[in-house]
Structure 1
Amino acid sequence: MPQIEVRSADVAFSGTTARGYAAVFNQWTRIAGLYDERLDPACFDRTLIEDPDILALWNHSPDALLGRTTAGTLRLSTDSHGLQFELDLDPRSPYGALCLSALERGDAHGCSFGFGVVAQTWQDEDNWERPRRTLTDLILYEVTITPQPAYPTTTASLRSETAMDNAVAARRRISEREAAMRKRGLL
C-alpha cells in the first residue's frame, strides 16, 4: 500500500452544499520547502474509474467525517481545471455545523486531499531552486475542507444561489402572500 500524503486547496458553499476544487492541475506549489509539485490532469483517472469509497473530512481528521461517495453525499469529477467536489453537509452533526460556519464566515476556504502515489516523475535541473515532482497516477482516499491549504489555488465555498433561483423564490413568496390575502378576502 502506498504511503498516504495530503495536499490542500480552497472551498465554497450555499445552503448546506459545499463545492469547489479539491485539487488543481498543472499548478506548481512548494511542498514543505523541499520541492515543487504539480498534478497531471490524468492523475485522478484511476480513482474515478474504480469508484472506491472516498471520504470528505474536516482538516484531514478521520473522526470528522463530512460525507462519502458511497453515501452519495460527496460527488467528484474532473474537468480541465482540476478535481471538482460537491459535498452535502449536515448541520445536525458537530463537524457539519463547524464546516458550514467556517465556510460561511470565510474562516476556511481551502481544500486538501489525501492520496497514495502510484506513479510520479521527478526533474532536477541545475538552474532550479528545488527539484520538481509531477504526480501522474494517484489513489485518492479523501478530500478535506481546511483552513490551511497546501495548494493555494484550490477552492471551497457554499454553493451560491443564482439570480434565477432568487427571482423564482421571490415570485413564490409573493404568490403565497397573495393566496393568503385572497383567503382572508383582502384581494
Structure 2
Amino acid sequence: MAEVISGFAISWNRPAVIAGLFEERFARGAFDKHLAQNPDVAALWAHDPSRPLGRVSNGSLSLRSDNIGLYYSLTPNPDAPLGQEALATVGNGTVTEVSVSFTPVVEEWDDSGDIPKRLITEAKLFEISLVLWGAYGSDTSAQISRASSNNEAAQRRIAARREAMRIRGML
C-alpha cells in the first residue's frame, strides 16, 4: 500500500519568532475560509515550485483544520525520484518539519512588549513544504504512516475482538 507523510503544518496559537523581528501565531481555523473557497493547495519540497510533491486538486494532498492545528496528509508518488526522496528522508527522520506559504488577510498586532506580536486570524494558504528547519520548528511535524501497516493492524484488532467474543459465546 501507499506510504503517506502526515502531520501538522501549523499548530494553533503556538508562537514563532520570525527573523528575530516579531512573534507570530495563528488563531484556530485561520485558513478555514480560504480552504473552503480555494482549496487547491500544493505540497512542495523546501518551498521550491519546481519540486512538487502533491496537490489537493489531484487528491495527493488533503488538509483539515482541527483543535490542534492544520493537519495534512500527503501521498507522494513513490515512482518519482522526488517522491522517493521525500519518503526516504521523512522515513529516516532527517526531515521532520513543515513550513507554509501564506498571505495574512486579518491580523492583530500587539506592540506593548519587547517584541511585537502578530496573531493571524485569517490567511490564504498557498502551499506547505517539507523542510529541514521551519519557522515553527517542532510545533510542526512530518512522519510516515504506511497504509498497509495501519490496515493490517486494524484487521488484527478486529480478529482479536471476534475471537474474544467467540470464546465468550457471543458469536
Give your verdict on TM over 0.5.
yes
1:22 aligns with 2:17: no
Tell which structure's C-alpha radius of gyration is larger.
Answer: 1
Q: TM-score, normalised by structure 2?
A: 0.83
Q: How does 1:120-139 map to 2 (within 5 A)?
A: 120-125=107-112, 128-139=113-124
Q: CA deviation at 1:156?
A: 0.9
Cα distance in 1, alignment partners of residues 2 and 35 from structure 2: 27
150-159 or 48-57, larger mean C-alpha shift? 48-57
Q: CA deviation at 1:84?
A: 0.4
1:145 aligns with 2:130: yes
Cα distance in 2, alignment partners of residues 123 and 89 from structure 1: 40
Question: Given that residues 16 and 90 in structure 1 are in contact (C-alpha distance below 8 angstroms), is that contact kept between their aligned partners in structure 2?
Answer: no
Q: Among 33, 37, 40, which residue is 1:46 paired with?
A: 33
Identity, in percent, stands at 32
Structure 1 counterpart of 2:165: none
Q: CA deviation at 1:52?
A: 3.0
1:58 aligns with 2:45: yes
1:33 aligns with 2:20: yes
Structure 2 counterpart of 1:159: 145
Structure 2 counterpart of 1:172: none
Cα distance in 2, alignment partners of residues 18 and 47 from structure 1: 23
CA deviations over 1:6-28 (Å, ceiling 9, x no partner): xxxxxxxx952111001110011
SS at 1:149 equivalent: coil
Q: CA deviation at 1:50?
A: 0.8
Q: TM-score, normalised by structure 1?
A: 0.77
Name the aligned partner's letter for residue 141 of structure 1. Answer: F
131-140 or 15-24, larger mean C-alpha shift? 15-24
Question: Given that residues 29 and 65 in structure 2 are in contact (C-alpha distance below 8 angstroms), is that contact kept between their aligned partners in structure 1?
Answer: no
Structure 1 counterpart of 2:68: 81
77-86 or 44-53, larger mean C-alpha shift? 44-53
Name the aligned partner's letter for residue 39 of structure 1. Answer: F
Structure 1: gaps of 5 or more residues: 1-13, 170-187
Cα distance in 2, alignment partners of residues 99 and 87 from structure 1: 10
Name the aligned partner's letter for residue 165 of structure 1. Answer: E
Q: CA deviation at 1:91?
A: 1.8
Structure 2: gaps of 5 or more residues: 157-171
SS at 2:87 equivalent: helix
SS at 1:33 equivalent: coil
Q: How many residues of Structure 1 are paired with residues of Structure 2 in the alignment?
A: 153
Cα distance in 1, alignment partners of residues 58 and 42 from structure 2: 10
Name the aligned partner's letter for residue 57 of structure 2. Answer: T
Q: CA deviation at 1:167?
A: 7.4
Name the aligned partner's letter for residue 98 of structure 2. Answer: C
